[in-house]
Amino acid sequence: MLRVAVVGSGPSGVYTAQALLQQSRVPDVRVDVLDRLPTPYGLVRYGVAPDHEKIKSLQSSLRAVLEDDRVTFVGHAEVGGAGGVSPARLKELYHAVVYCVGAASDRPLGIPGEGLPGSFSATEFVSWYSAHPDASADGFPLLTPSALVIGVGNVAVDVARILARGAGELRGTDVPRAALEALGTSRVREVHIVGRRGPSQARFTTKELRELGALPRARIVVDGAELALDPAYAAAEGAGTSLPAVVRRNLDVLRGWAADPRGAAPDRERRIRLRFFLRPVELLERDGRVGGVRFARTAPDGAGGVRDTGAYEDIEAQLVLRAVGYRGTPLPGLPFDPVLGVVPHVAGRVIRDGAASPGEYVAGWIKRGPTGVIGSNRSCAKETAASLIDDAPLLVGREVTGDPLGALRDQGMRPVEWDGWLSIERAESALGRSLGRDRVKIPDWSGLLDAAGAGPGGAPRGRQP
Ligand SMILES: Cc1cc2nc3c(=O)[nH]c(=O)nc-3n(C[C@H](O)[C@H](O)[C@H](O)COP(=O)(O)OP(=O)(O)OC[C@H]3O[C@@H](n4cnc5c(N)ncnc54)[C@H](O)[C@@H]3O)c2cc1C
Ligand SMILES: NC(=O)c1ccc[n+]([C@@H]2O[C@H](COP(=O)([O-])OP(=O)(O)OC[C@H]3O[C@@H](n4cnc5c(N)ncnc54)[C@H](OP(=O)(O)O)[C@@H]3O)[C@@H](O)[C@H]2O)c1
C-alpha cells in the first residue's frame, strides 16, 4: 500500500488526491488530506466570493473526493507551525507527502503610507467577509464615503463588487453575521478601482467585469478619454486585431460603458469608477489615517509596460484595499524560493539542495505562484501525481508508521476528522436558521472547534485567535 499525505485541502490538494485515486499503476493508495483549518476546500470556502454561488458549488465535487473510502480528511492539523507536525516527521509517517498549501499572504506595494490605519490588503478584506478564523476580529466598519481598490485583477473586482452590494443582496449567502451587518450599514458610496497599466493589460476576466455593470445599486463610471490612452482600445474597435479574445471582450464592455456616460440607471446610489494608467506612489495621511492615494500618471511605453509622464493625481479615499496579488509563505522545514514565493520543484518534485527530494512534492499555488482559476489546479495536480506514481516503486519499499493519526494525537494535536467537519456544517445551518437565513459561516476558531467537538474551544497551539 502507498500511503500519501496531502497537505492542504484546497482545489490543488483535493485534485491531487483524486488523481492518485484515479490512476491504475499503483492500485492500493491511501491518502490523508491534512489542513491546518478544521474546514476543507481552501480558497473555495475562504476566497471565492459569497455571491458566486455557482463556483462555490464546486465544493460538492471536492467533497465527493474527500468522502472516498480511501481518503481521510484530517483538519486542524498544521504542518510546519509551532504546534504542528514537521515535514521531517511527516516523511516518517507517509511514503510520500504532497504540499498543496496555497499562497495565503499578500504582496506588499512597498510605498509610503501602506501601513496607515484604513489601508488593508484585499486578502484581509476577503478573509473577513469569508469568515476565515484568522481574520481580524476588528472587522471593517465601512463608515466612510470613498473606498479605493489598487489593482485590476479578479480579486480587485471581487472586493469592489462586495463593497458595492447591499446587505439585502448578500442575505441569501453564507456571509458571516458581522460582515453582513457592516455591509448593511455601509456608508461607502464611491469605489475606485485603479490599474497602473491600460485596460488591455487588466487581468480581470469578462464575466467578472460585466457583473459589475449588473449590480442593482451601483453605476459604473469610465472615462472614454482615459481608456483611449491605450492604443489597443482604439485599435480593437475594428475587426481582425491580434488581441486575445478576453482582452477584446473586456474592451468592448468598457467601450459600452464609456458610450453611456449617464449609466443605465443614473439614480443608483453607488458609483464604481474604473481608472487606468495610474501608478500608486504614496498613501496620503489625514488625521492619522489614510485619506487618499497619490498616483503617478503613466502612459504606454509601446512594449506592454508603462512609463511615468511626470504628472500626478490624488484620489480621495478613507479605505484602501491593495489587491495586487497573493504570495506564498515559507513553510518551516520545506525549501522556499523567496523571490518567486514558491517551493522549488521539477514536475512537482520538491528540489532540496539542488536535487529532487524523494517522497516530497508540491501542487497548486505554492508550486506555480498565485495565479489561475480553480480548474487550473487540476492539470497542475495531475502532473504532480504522475511524478509521484512514477517514483512509487522506490517509495513503497520504505517502512512507515501504521497509524499516522495516532502519531499526530500523541504529539498533542487535536485533529478534526470528516465527522467533525459535518458537525461544523450542521452548526452553520443551525446558526443560519436562528438568524432567519440559510447557512451562516462560523467566523472564529473557538466556534469552529466547539462545533467540531474537538474538545474545549480555542486557537490551536502556536496560532493567533
Ligand atoms: C479572493 C479569491 C477569489 C477567488 N475566486 C475564484 C473564483 O471565483 N473562481 C475560480 O475559478 N478561482 C478563484 N480563485 C482562484 C482559486 O481560489 C485558486 O486557484 C485555488 O484556490 C488555489 O488552490 P490551492 O489548493 O493551491 O490553494 P488554496 O485554495 O489556498 O488551499 C490551500 C490549503 O492549504 C491549507 N494550508 C496552508 N498552510 C498549511 C499548513 N502549513 N498546514 C496544513 N494546511 C495548510 C490552507 O488552510 C488551505 O485550505 C480565487 C482566488 C482568490 C484569492
Ligand atoms: N472569479 C474568478 O474567476 C476569480 C476571482 C478572484 C481571483 N481569481 C484568480 O485568482 C488569481 C489571483 O488574482 P489577483 O487579482 O490576486 O491577481 P492578478 O490577476 O495577478 O492581478 C493583480 C493586479 O495587481 C496589479 N499590481 C501588481 N503589483 C502592483 C503594484 N505594485 N502597483 C499597482 N498594481 C499592481 C497587477 O497589475 P500589472 O498587470 O500591471 O502587474 C494586476 O492588475 C488570478 O488568476 C485570478 O483570475 C479568479
Q: Based on the domain organization, do 364 and 388 belong to the same domain?
A: yes
Looking at the domain assignment, is residue 437 inside a domain? no
What range defines the domain where residue 258 resides? 106-326
CB of 82 within 6 A of ligand 1: the answer is: no
| 465 CB-near residues (< 8 Å, 6+ apart) | 133, 137, 444, 445, 446, 458, 459
Q: Calculate mean pLDDT across residues 1-20.
A: 98
| Ligand number nearest to the C-alpha of 376 | 1
CB of 8 within 6 A of ligand 1: the answer is: yes
Looking at the domain assignment, is residue 165 inside a domain? yes
Tens of pLDDT, residues 64-110: 999 999 999 999 999 998 889 999 999 999 999 999 999 989 999 99
Which of 298, 326, 354 is the C-terminal boundary of a domain?
A: 326
CB of 7 within 6 A of ligand 1: the answer is: yes
Tens of pLDDT, residues 132-154: 999 988 888 899 999 999 999 99
| pLDDT number for residue 266 | 60
Looking at the CA of residue 122, tell me the nearest atom of ligand 1: 1
What gap in Å lies between CA 352 and CA 335, rounded to an integer? 6
Q: CA angle, corner 439, sides to 446 and 378, nearest 5?
A: 85
| Ligand number nearest to the C-alpha of 331 | 1
Residue 307 φ/ψ, nearest 5 degrees: -125, 150
Looking at the domain assignment, is residue 208 inside a domain? yes
| pLDDT number for residue 172 | 94
Q: Based on the domain organization, do 69 and 110 belong to the same domain?
A: no
Which of 386, 415, 444 is the C-terminal boundary of a domain?
A: 415
Looking at the CA of residue 14, tell me the nearest atom of ligand 1: 25
Q: Based on the domain organization, do 290 and 332 belong to the same domain?
A: no
What gap in Å lies between CA 324 and CA 121, rounded to an integer? 8
Say how many Å lie between the CA of residue 241 and the centre of ligand 1.
35
Say how many Å lie between the CA of residue 380 and the centre of ligand 1.
14
Say how many Å lie between the CA of residue 298 and the centre of ligand 1.
33
pLDDT band at residue 401 using 50, 70 and 90 as cut-offs: confident
Looking at the domain assignment, is residue 302 inside a domain? yes
What grid cell was written down for 456?
474545549
Bridge partner residues of 272 (DSSP) = 191, 220
Q: Based on the domain organization, do 88 and 113 belong to the same domain?
A: no
pLDDT band at residue 405 using 50, 70 and 90 as cut-offs: very high
Looking at the domain assignment, is residue 459 inside a domain? no
- Tell me the angle at which helices 154-164 and 122-129 cross, rounded to the nearest 10 degrees: 50
What grid cell was written down for 399?
517502512
What grid cell was written down for 54?
455557482
The DSSP bridge pattern shows strands 355-362 and 2-7 to be: unpaired
**Residue 327: how many CB atoms within 10 A of its CB?**
19
Tens of pLDDT, residues 327-340: 999 999 999 999 99
Tens of pLDDT, residues 203-234: 999 999 999 999 999 999 999 999 999 999 98
Q: Calculate mean pLDDT across residues 102-129.
A: 96
Say how many Å lie between the CA of residue 8 and the centre of ligand 1.
9
Check if the beta carbon of residue 189 is closer than 8 Å to that of residue 272.
no
Looking at the domain assignment, is residue 424 inside a domain? no
Q: Based on the domain organization, do 321 and 188 belong to the same domain?
A: yes
| Ligand number nearest to the C-alpha of 377 | 1
| pLDDT number for residue 265 | 56
Q: Based on the domain organization, do 124 and 76 belong to the same domain?
A: no
- Closest Cα to atom 3 of ligand 2: 373
Say how many Å lie between the CA of residue 156 and the centre of ligand 2.
7
Q: Based on the domain organization, do 146 and 56 belong to the same domain?
A: no
Tens of pLDDT, residues 301-325: 988 899 999 999 999 999 999 999 9
| pLDDT number for residue 235 | 82
- Closest Cα to atom 51 of ligand 1: 47
Say how many Å lie between the CA of residue 155 and the centre of ligand 1.
13
Express as a percent the part of the chain with pLDDT over 90. Answer: 88
Domain count, the chain: 2
Q: Based on the domain organization, do 169 and 298 belong to the same domain?
A: yes
Q: Calculate mean pLDDT across residues 180-202.
A: 96
Say how many Å lie between the CA of residue 4 and the centre of ligand 2.
33
- Closest Cα to atom 18 of ligand 2: 153
Tens of pLDDT, residues 38-71: 999 999 999 999 999 999 889 999 999 999 999 9
* CATH number of the domain enclosing 336: 3.40.50.720
Looking at the domain assignment, is residue 462 inside a domain? no
Q: Based on the domain organization, do 294 and 340 belong to the same domain?
A: no
**Sheet order of strands, 146-150 included:** 119-121, 319-322, 146-150, 190-194, 270-275, 218-221
Whether the per-residue pLDDT at 160 is higher than 80: the answer is yes
Q: Based on the domain organization, do 123 and 29 belong to the same domain?
A: no
Q: Based on the domain organization, do 245 and 332 belong to the same domain?
A: no
| pLDDT number for residue 454 | 77
CB of 35 within 6 A of ligand 1: the answer is: yes
Check if the beta carbon of residue 156 is closer than 8 Å to that of residue 112.
no
| pLDDT number for residue 226 | 97
Express as a percent the part of the chain with pLDDT over 70. Answer: 95
| pLDDT number for residue 149 | 98
Average pLDDT score, the chain:
93
Q: What is the DSSP letter of 199?
A: G
Residues with CB under 6 A from ligand 2: 109, 150-156, 158, 195-197, 201, 203, 208, 280, 323-326, 370-373
Whether the per-residue pLDDT at 239 is higher than 80: the answer is no
Q: Calculate mean pLDDT across residues 249-267.
A: 80
CB of 32 within 6 A of ligand 1: the answer is: no
* CATH number of the domain enclosing 300: 3.50.50.60
Pocket test for ligand 1, best of 101, 134, 421 (most atoms within 8 A of CB): 101
Which of 415, 438, 456 is the C-terminal boundary of a domain?
A: 415
Looking at the CA of residue 109, tell me the nearest atom of ligand 2: 31
CB of 4 within 6 A of ligand 1: the answer is: no
Q: Based on the domain organization, do 300 and 168 belong to the same domain?
A: yes
Say how many Å lie between the CA of residue 168 and the centre of ligand 1.
27
Looking at the domain assignment, is residue 228 inside a domain? yes
Whether the per-residue pLDDT at 246 is higher than 80: the answer is yes
Q: How many CA atoms lie within 13 A of 203 on its CB side?
A: 19
What gap in Å lies between CA 376 and CA 369, rounded to an integer? 12
